[in-house]
Structure formats: structure tokens, C-alpha cells
Amino acid sequence: MEFILVSLILLPLAGFSVALILPSDYKWQRINFIFFTLLSLAAAIYSFKFDGLDKFHDIINIPWLSVMQVNFRLGIDYISLSLVLTTTFIFVGSAVAGVGKENIKINTALMLLLEAFLIGVFLASDVLLFYIFWELVMLPVIGLFFINIKDQYRAIYFYLYTIAGSLVMFLGIVYIYFYYGDLASGGGYVDWLEVRALNNNLIWALFAIAFAIKAPLFPFHGWQAGAYQAAPTFLTVILATLLSKMGWYGFYRYSHKLLGEGGEFWQGSILFLSVVGVIYGAMMAWQSKNIKSLFAYSSLSHLNMMIYGIFSDSEVALAGSIFFAIQHSLIMAGIFWIIQFLEGRKGINLTNNFNGLFKVAPVLAGFFIFLSLANIGLPGLSGFVGEFTILSGNFKFYPGLTVVATGGVILAALYQLKIIQRLFFGEVSLINERINYKLGYEMIAILAIIIIAVIIMGIYPSFLFDLFKEIV
């Protein structure tokens, strides 16, 4: 088990090293990207065979900063492993979809580095190690921004916005180690049960601000729409599906599990803000003209729905939030890969510049429409299960807020159907008739896997809920 867990981080790092050695040749860089992401995916799948994953426990515990008694500790349970599996699959899809032919060498290297650091976030069981991986993630992200876009202002704004939250969390970590660890006597061990029992509202808030920015929780979303639009679409996929889940995971693992009692003071505020975020995100998506901006606000709405599930008093809603987080990553990855494909054909991302694509690209249209229906929570698909469990679980405890949050589901149907109508129906323009919209077989396979997963999770969600029931 130890070898497999370490390999989940080391394999992308090995791919990163190979990418730097290989020449800037599109074919060989793509082969390298696909090869090492497939190996990581295989390692993640193999990890599910191990027993005892119904509770989080350390697998690797190696002395690291001995002066502080801080160890290199990696741990796992079914929730963190599910996020690792989702991460490795999405990077396989990103390798297939491509990272552009310009800057192919550095883009491939940075994407593999990003995969390793993201997996580290989901596996780290020492709070300081978690923070280090949390910060390391931003290095390849910012590198990809600066290398691939001309709008440097948005990249700098995104970095400063997120780093501010990280520094606040670092203050919380220092606070914990100095006052509740034994750092003053030469150690650094933290008894999390003791920290939790102290019910420290300040510590909870310091961590929560960082998570709220990364997710983001309303009103800490100022970076999101601009970053989604400015980023190359292959990076937008990662921002929408995995960087956002870092914030969600932080809320779950630290705010809910390790610092849970400290959150009782803030619970009402978080629930209120998350419901406002559900409605605000849906309303902004409805009026968005830019397709990447639309799905940025759609994600804002859905992520706030997930946060609403985490901080409820309902175990059903909490389980629904975990389920929703996983399926949302898959759906948004598929949608943004299709957007990336369309932009690669036309280089345009305004909804009113596409029309009638269903007639010239029926396969592509079919994938997009299906994923859109899953995104709005069509019964029988995974999106419905996630939303229904969160809303039904919360209704008993917060009926008023839950009724308001349900409005976000209705608005989601409106904006999603609107984008479908604009993209795929109506008269076919002459330029659309002249372009080849045929998807490659590899991309069809990736999208087909997502659709199969969405159907299985919608029809038989118990297989995931059974994994999570002991943990939540």
C-alpha cells in the first residue's frame, strides 16, 4: 500500500522529468503525457483493493522536519481516494484533449507537476504538509497562465487573491502549532482532538477563509469568472473540476472533521452565504454571454450547493455533498473539453457565434446536451442524486433556506437549456458548414466513460453512498 500511495505522486513527477528531457515535439510530448497519466490512473484504481478505507488513517509516516516533529504523512480513505481517482482520470482526459501545440513542452511538464501536487493535497494527513502541497499547486497554475495568455492582469489578480487566503490559513497553522502543539518545547505534534474540543472560532475562521476563496464560497468568488475566461481552456478544465474541489475538500476534511466544533459559531453564516451563492451563481450564469463565464457561474452555484451540504446537521446532505463533488468534476470536465474542441476549430467563445451545430456535428452535440442535462439534475442522472440528497437532507433542519436553494436548480435548467438552444439549434451558418467537427476516437472514449459513469451514478448511487456511510 505504501508503494502505491507514493507512486500516485511520484509517477506524475517522473512524467514531468521526462517532459523536460524530451524535445519540444508534439507527438512525443503527448505520448509522454498520456503514458504517465494512465499509469497514475491505474495506481488509483488499484488502491481501491485495499481494506480499511472506511476511515481515514495514515499509510506513510516518515520523519521529515525532526526539529518540529513534523512527519511526511500520507493517508487515505474512500473519500480522498475517490478524489484522487477523479483527478487521475481528468488528467488522462486532458492529455487526450491536448494542451495546445504552442509551448507543448513546458505545458506538458507543468500539467504533470500540477497533477502530482493536487494528488498530494488529497493525500496529505499532516496539516503542514497539506499546506505545502496547497501552495505548490499554485506554481504550475500560475506558470501556465503566464505562458499561455496575454492578459497578465487577470493572472496576477487570481494569484494575489488566492495567495491572500493561503497566508491567512498559514497564520492558523502557526497559531495551532505554537499554542496547541508542543513547538515551544522543541516539538510540533498537534492533538487534533484537543484542538477540536477547544472550540476555537478564530482558528476555524482562518482556515475557512482560504477554503472559501479556493472553492469559491460566495462572496469570495471575485477571481473565478475572470480566471476561467482568461485561462487556456485546458487549464480552465482543471480550475473548474479540481482546484475548486481543493476548497471543498478543505472544508470537509478540516473545517468539518478536524475543526468541526469550532464551526458551530459560523455555521449559520456559512449556510446563509452558500444559499446566496447558489442563487447568485445561477442568475449570473443566466445573463452571461461568454460560454466559459457561464459555466464559471454555474460552477459557483453548484459548489455553493455542495458547501450547503457539508455544513448541515444532516448526514444525508453531507453524503450528498461528497457524491455531488465527484460527479460535478466529471460533468464539468466533459463540458469544458467540448468547449476546448470548439474553440480549437473556431477560436471563438461567445455563445451567439455558434448556431445550428446539431446538424453539422450530431455526435458532439449529443455529448454536450447529455452532459448539460446531467448538470441541471435530470432525474436518472448523477446530478439529480447529488442535488436531491442535499436538499432533502437539509429540508428537515433548514426548510426556508432549502426552499430558496431549490430556486438555483430551476434557474440552472433555464440557463443550461438557453445555451443548448444557442449552440446547437437554429439555422446553420455558412462557416459552420465548412468546418470539420468530428471528434477523435480517444476523445469519444473519454466522453463515453463520463456518460456511463453519470448514468450508473444516477441509476445506482448506492455503490458510492455505501463507501461513504461509515465515514460521514
Confidence tier at 385 by pLDDT (50, 70, 90): very high
Region 47-59: what's the mean pLDDT?
A: 77
Helix segments in 357-435, DSSP class H: 357-360, 362-375, 382-395, 399-424, 430-433
Nearest to 36 by CA among 102, 85, 91: 91
pLDDT at 193 over 60: no
* Mean pLDDT, the chain, whole residue set: 83
Q: Are 250 and 211 in contact (CB under 8 A)?
A: yes
Reported as a pLDDT band with limits 50, 70 and 90, residue 181 is low
Can you tell me whether residue 358 is helix, strand or coil?
helix
CA dihedral sign, ordered 249, 251, 158, 272: positive
* Closest to 236 in 3D by CA, of 248, 246, 225, 251: 225
> How many Cβ atoms are within 10 Å of 148's Cβ, its own excluded?
20
Q: Residue 262: CB partners within 8 Å, gap ≥ 6?
A: 196, 198, 199, 200, 201, 203, 204
Q: What is the CA radius of gyration of the chain?
A: 21
Express each pLDDT in 421-434 by its tens digit: 777 776 655 455 55
State yes or no: pLDDT of 47 exceeds 80.
yes
Proportion of the chain above pLDDT 70, given as a percent: 86
- Mean per-residue pLDDT, 447-453: 94
> Is the Cβ–Cβ distance between 232 and 344 less than 8 Å?
no
**Sorting pLDDT into bands at 50, 70 and 90, what band is 363?**
confident
Q: What is the pLDDT of residues 199-230, one digit of tens each?
A: 577 888 888 899 999 989 989 888 888 888 88
Q: What is the pLDDT of residues 230-253, one digit of tens each?
A: 888 899 999 999 998 999 998 888
The pTM of the full predicted model, rounded to 2 decimals, is 0.90
Contact 384, 458 (CB under 8 A): yes
Cell of residue 445, nine digits: 472514449
Rank 110-119, 212-221, 310-319, 381-390 by mean pLDDT and report only the highest.
Answer: 110-119
Whether 469 has a pLDDT exceeding 80, the answer reads: no
**pLDDT over threshold 70, residue 100:** yes
Higher pLDDT, 439 or 297: 297
Which stretch of 95-99, 290-294, 458-462 has the lowest confidence by average pLDDT?
A: 290-294
Higher pLDDT, 178 or 144: 144
Give 198's DSSP letter: T
Three-state secondary structure readout of 16-65: HHHHHHCCCCHHHHHHHHHHHHHHHHHHHHHHCCCCCCCCCEEEEEEEEE
